Structure 1
Amino acid sequence: MRLAFMGSPDFAVPALRALHGAGHEIAAVYCQPPRPAGRGQKEQPCPVHRAALELGLPVRTPARLRKDEAEHAAFAALGLEAAVVAAYGLILPRTMLEAPRRGCLNIHASLLPRWRGAAPIQAAILAGDAESGITIMQMEEGLDTGPMLLKGTVPIGPRTTTPELHDALSAMGARLALEALDRSPPTLPQSAEGATYAPKLSKADAPLDWTLSAAALDRRVRALNPWPGTVFTLAGETIRVLAAEPTEGAGPPGTVLNEAALIACGEGALRLLRLQRPGRGPLPARDFLRGFPLPPGAVLG
C-alpha cells in the first residue's frame, strides 16, 4: 500500500519501522524540522527523521502546514492510499486530511475519548487511571475527535512510569496500525461524553506541591520524568526527584521528617528514593544525602 508516514518523536519510530518491514511503500516521511540541541546547540534531526534516513526513505520537514498551499499540493501529488500519523506535532489542514484515498489514520496514546490532546500518557498516570491504551482513529479537523477504528489496552500498575507506559503503547501502536490497514475495520464515532483533555506539559509543571497527598506526588514523579521532571528547592538549589514512594507520616507539608529523606505531604509522606543535583549524575537517596543532607525539620520549597 502506498503510504505517507507522519511522526517525530521516539514514540512514532516503531510504527514507521513496522510499516516499512511489512512491505508498505512509504512515499514520504513527514517530521519536525531539525532543531538545536545539546551543549553545542547544533541542529539535530528528530528520531523519526533519523530512522527514515536509516531506512532510505524520503523525508520532508515543513515548519508549518496550515497555509502552505505548495505543501498541500505536494502531499496530494504523492497519490497515497493512506497516511499514518503518530505524534507528528503539526495540525493537518482539511486538504491534506482528505488527500489520501483512505484518509489519515492517527495512532493516539489513550483510550479515546479519554485524554485527547498532547500528553495522554502522562495524564493517565497523573489521574491514577487503571489502564491506558492505543486508539487508531480516522483523523478529522477536530482535536482527536475523529471516529475510532481499533483499540488496545495496557494496564497501569502502582509503580508504572511514563517511560514504561510509553514503550508499551509505542509497540502496541505499531501493531494496531498494521492491523487497521490490513483489515479496514468499521469506524465507531466518539462520544463527547466522558471526553477529557491532556494539555501540553511545560517546565512550570516540574515543582512539587507538598500540600498534595503523597499518592498524588508519587504519581507526579512517575508521570513527569524524564520531562519536564519533578523538583524541589532547598538552600537555593533545585533538586530533581527521579523516584519516590508514598508511605505513612505526618507533619507540615514539605517538612523533612527524618534523615532518610521522608517528606511530609498534605496527606501521608513521600520517601525520596533517587535524586539529582544540577550538573551532577543521579544518585540513590542514601548516596545523595552524604553530599547534600536534608536535615530533619527543614522545609522544602
Structure 2
Amino acid sequence: MAAWLCLSSCVRDEIEPCPPLRVMIGIEDKNYANVDAVEKVTGLERRVDENKPFRSYIQKLFYIMYEAETGKVVLTKHLHDVQGDAFRATGDIPEDLPFGKYVLVVWGNILDEAPILAERDYRVYNLHMGEIEGYDTYMTSDTLLYDETHYDYEVDLKRVKGKLIIQASNLPDKICYSEKEVDGVSAYVTHRFNYVRSAVVRTHAGWKPGEAPVSKTVLAPSLQENGTQVKAWFYDDLREDIADIIPPPVSVTMERNKLTLLKYVYDNGKFTIYILINDN
C-alpha cells in the first residue's frame, strides 16, 4: 500500500516531473462599467475593443506570491514588461515551487514601484502619492491551491480607480487655465480591495482661449456616498494668484471602474453645474 501511494503521488525526485503551477493573467475591466451611457449622452469617453492582446491595455506587471497560512513571501517579481501578443499574460512562477496554498497579488498598469513600496507592504498601494492622480492601476489577489490536480489557473485584473470627467462650456474667451482640488477620495487600497484613509488630489490644465475645456482625472473611490468634494478655479492667466471665476464646490461619489461626469455651464457671472447620473 505504501509503495502504491509513493508511485501514484507526485514526488519531486521521481522521473516524471510534477506539473508546474501555471497562472494566466487576464483583464476584467477593459471598459468602465458605465462607458456606454457616457458615450451615448456626451461622447466624452468611448468603449474600447476588448479583443486585443493583453499588452495593448497593460504593458507592465508587478506581483508577489506568499504562503496563505504563514504569510511568507515565496516570489517577488518586480515591475517588468509584458511580453508577446497573447490575450493573457503568463505568470512567471518557479517550476520548483512546493505544493501548498498560496496567495498571488498582481499590480498592473503602473510605470514605477513607488506606490507599492510606500508602505513597505506589497499588498498595500498608495493611490495618490504627492496629491497627484497617479496611475490607472489594476490589481488582482487570488488564493491558489497547488497540488497534483490543481495547477492551472486564470486570474483577472480589476481596475482600482474611477475617472472624473469635467467639461466646461460658455466660458469667457479670455479664460485659459484652471486648477482643481478633489478632497475625500481614498488614499490606500489593500490587496482585498479595502479602501482606507482620505486623500486630496490637485490638478491643473491649460487650453487655448475660446476653447471648451475637458479634463479627465483617474481618482480613487470615495470613502462614503457624496463624500468627495470637487473645487475648481478658472483663470485668464496661469501666472495669477487670484482666480477670475470660481464655481461653487460640488459633492460627488467616486466609484471603482465608473465614470463620474460634471458639466460646468457659465452664464452671466455664475455657473450651473450638471452631474450625469446613469444616462441622464
TM (norm. structure 1) is: 0.24
Higher helix content, 1 or 2: 1
Query: Which of the two has higher C-alpha Rg?
Result: 2
RCO higher in structure (CA 8 A, sep ≥6):
2
TM-score under structure 2 length normalisation: 0.26
